[in-house]
Structures are given as C-alpha cells and as structure tokens.
Copies of this chain bind each other. A is one copy, B any other.
Amino acid sequence: MKARVTVTLKNGVLDPQGQAIEGSLASLGFGGVKGVRQGKVFDLVLDGSDEEAARTQLTGMCEKLLANTVIENYQIEISN
C-alpha cells in the first residue's frame, strides 16, 4: 500500500524559506505571486492492505516523527 503524508506550516507561523522563494521568483521575473509557503511531503510504502490500520499507523508516525504538531498540520492520503 502506498501513502503520501503532506506536512505544511500552520497559518500564522512565519515561513522565511517561503518568503525567500517568493523574493527569488520576483527577481526572476515571475510577477503576480502573492505568497509562497513551503512544506514537506513523505511518500511511504507500507506492508498490508488494511486501509484503516494503515491510517492509524500513519497518524502515529505523524504525531511522533513526521510533523511537529505545534507548528505544522499534516494530511494523509492512502492509495492502493
């Protein structure tokens, strides 16, 4: 089973990396960019075929390792 976990900064959390990218895009001539926020994506391959069990396990992984839940949100997508 394959899963994708997307980790993004919560609203209101400062994102200097995103701001730097926004500045660079403007320097390169890409106008009209009003905001950039950078996040992380994890593509996992999991054993087993129980989607509910996989979701529970992935939630645990996010809470313990993949995301800092103080400042980040996570989103789990599972595909077979």
- Verify if A57 is at the interface (C-beta below 8 Å from B): yes
Whether the Cβ atoms of A47 and B32 lie closer than 8 Å is yes
Within A31-57, the residues touching B (CB, 8 Å) are: 31-48, 57
Which range holds the interface residue count of chain A?
20 to 34
Residues of B within 8 A of A41 (CB): 6, 8, 38-41
Whether the Cβ atoms of A46 and B33 lie closer than 8 Å is yes
Residues of B within 8 A of A61 (CB): 25, 28, 30
Whether the Cβ atoms of A30 and B57 lie closer than 8 Å is yes
CB distance from A68 to the nearest CB of B (A): 14
Given A25-B65, A30-B61: A39 and B36 interface contact (C-beta under 8 Å): no
